């Protein structure tokens, strides 16, 4: 398979892609704002500072904020001719950045597994070592984060060179595609998808079994633990949906069993699958976490009051 060059400024867009983009914006923008809001609520909230679980949630939210922002720069904007000027400006002022950003979805693929798995592992350690797990996670938190980041890059060495290379040639923004390298990368993703699916399923079932066997007193503290367990397990289930799509997409490269309609919209559907997991945590926490729900409602109440006061002052003036 020979390399080929795409002149990104000559791209055309169809009505289906435009409709899907509007759908993505309709749920994506509010969800992204919600993620940022939750991040700052947990970061500055005193009630969350001593909990290692919420430190992992912060790590997760931070990762997902970058994942979602990167999908627009690396994948979505280039589908729309009217948005190419943004990408061209990025490449002009920071040469090589777009090439790196188009690699990041593969790096974030592995990071997504760890952001889901760490929450489940944390709950398992809280059940198995109720008096020692907080000290462990608080002590080794940054080491665990660094290890996840390094590990997520390691699969890159299973293929060579870049998957895409973005440059400005003679005033034109172009993307050089390397289909041979891309095929190797997809095969690596397929293998890891199956592995992550099995590991995530095993962790989820093990955590659920440990939680069901643990006999806890009916106290407010035990209720908090149950809610955190539900958050971790629900998040694990949502992650499974993303991995299943990755497995199906990779398998289709060998057996071509997906309908032509799905193959044509493959990039958009893959983005939807990523969004399902990337944007889900705030909603899961809003459902299961009383503290988060109270803080969000309080923030909304204060924001409404400030808005009303500002309107009153403006009218009276």
pLDDT, greater one: 126 or 246: 126
* 180-to-1, 104, 162, 163, 285 alpha-carbon distances in Å: 6, 18, 11, 9, 42
With 50 as the cut, is the pLDDT of residue 79 above it? yes
Give the model's pLDDT for residue 255.
73
Give the model's pLDDT for residue 1.
64
With 70 as the cut, is the pLDDT of residue 282 above it? yes
Give the model's pLDDT for residue 40.
94
What is the pLDDT averaged over residues 185-195?
87
- The tokens 């958009």 sit on which residue? 268
What is the pLDDT averaged over residues 264-290?
84
**C-alpha angle 266-270-276 in degrees, rounded to nearest 5:** 150
Q: Is 67 exposed, middle or buried (0-12, 13-18, 19+ CB in 10 A)?
A: buried
Q: What is the pLDDT of residues 203-226, one digit of tens each?
A: 988 988 888 877 554 444 567 677
The answer to whether residue 211 sits within a structural domain is yes
In this prediction, residue 36 has a pLDDT band, given cuts at 50, 70 and 90, of: very high
Residues listed for the chain: 317
User: At 271, which CATH number?
Assistant: 1.20.1070.10
Whether the CB-CB separation of 147 and 231 falls below 8 Å is answered with no
The lowest-confidence range among 88-92, 157-161, 254-258 is: 254-258
In this prediction, residue 311 has a pLDDT band, given cuts at 50, 70 and 90, of: low
The answer to whether residue 34 sits within a structural domain is yes
With 60 as the cut, is the pLDDT of residue 41 above it? yes
Q: What is the pLDDT of residues 145-174, one digit of tens each?
A: 999 999 999 999 988 778 899 999 988 999
Q: What is the pLDDT of residues 91-146, one digit of tens each?
A: 999 999 999 999 999 999 999 999 999 999 999 999 889 889 999 999 999 999 99
The answer to whether residue 300 sits within a structural domain is no
Give the model's pLDDT for residue 167.
93
Give the model's pLDDT for residue 53.
94
The DSSP call for residue 48 is G
Whether the CB-CB separation of 224 and 87 falls below 8 Å is answered with no
The answer to whether residue 295 sits within a structural domain is no
What residues make up the domain containing 233?
Answer: 4-290
HSE (side-chain half, CA atoms, 13 Å) at 271? 23
Give the model's pLDDT for residue 316.
47
Question: Considering the chain, what is the average pLDDT of its residues?
Answer: 86
The answer to whether residue 207 sits within a structural domain is yes
Rounded to whole angstroms, the Cα distance separating 250 from 153 reads: 20
Give the model's pLDDT for residue 299.
86
The answer to whether residue 311 sits within a structural domain is no
The answer to whether residue 140 sits within a structural domain is yes
In this prediction, residue 314 has a pLDDT band, given cuts at 50, 70 and 90, of: very low
What tokens does 298 get? 């309080």
In this prediction, residue 253 has a pLDDT band, given cuts at 50, 70 and 90, of: low
Give the model's pLDDT for residue 221.
55
With 90 as the cut, is the pLDDT of residue 276 above it? no
Q: Could you write out the DSSP letters of every residue in 190-251?
A: HHHHHHHHHHHHHHHHHHHHHHHH----SSHHHHHHHHHHHHHHHHHHHHHHHHHHHHHHHH
What is the pLDDT averaged over residues 56-65?
95
Q: How many domains does the chain have?
A: 1
The answer to whether residue 301 sits within a structural domain is no
């Amino acid at each position: 398979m020979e390399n080929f060059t795409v002149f990104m400024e000559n791209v055309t867009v169809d009505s289906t892609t435009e409709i899907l983009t509007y759908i993505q914006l309709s749920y994506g923008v509010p969800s992204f704002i919600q993620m940022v809001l939750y991040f700052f609520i947990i970061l500055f909230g005193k009630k969350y500072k001593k909990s290692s679980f919420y430190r992992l949630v912060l790590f997760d939210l931070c990762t997902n904020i970058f994942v979602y922002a990167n999908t627009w720069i690396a994948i979505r904007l280039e589908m729309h001719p009217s948005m190419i000027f943004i990408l061209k400006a990025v490449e002009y002022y920071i040469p090589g950045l777009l090439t790196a950003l188009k690699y990041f979805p593969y790096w974030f693929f592995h990071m997504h597994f760890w952001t889901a798995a760490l929450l489940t592992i944390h709950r398992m350690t809280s059940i198995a070592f109720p008096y020692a797990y907080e000290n462990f996670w608080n002590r080794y938190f940054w080491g665990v984060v660094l290890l996840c980041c390094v590990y997520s890059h390691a699969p890159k060495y299973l293929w060579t060179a870049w998957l895409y290379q973005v440059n400005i040639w003679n005033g034109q923004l172009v993307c050089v595609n390397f289909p041979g390298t891309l095929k190797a990368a997809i095969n690596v993703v397929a293998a890891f998808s199956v592995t992550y699916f099995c590991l995530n399923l095993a962790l989820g079932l093990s955590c659920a079994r440990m939680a069901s066997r643990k006999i806890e007193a009916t106290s407010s503290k035990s209720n908090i633990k149950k809610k955190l367990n539900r958050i971790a397990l629900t998040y694990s289930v949502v992650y499974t949906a993303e991995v299943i799509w990755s497995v199906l997409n990779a398998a289709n490269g060998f057996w071509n069993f997906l309908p032509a309609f799905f193959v044509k919209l493959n990039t958009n559907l893959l983005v939807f699958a990523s969004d399902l997991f990337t944007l889900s945590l705030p909603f899961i926490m809003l459902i299961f976490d009383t503290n988060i729900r109270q803080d969000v409602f309080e923030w909304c109440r204060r924001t409404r009051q400030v808005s009303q006061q500002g309107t009153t002052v403006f009218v009276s003036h």
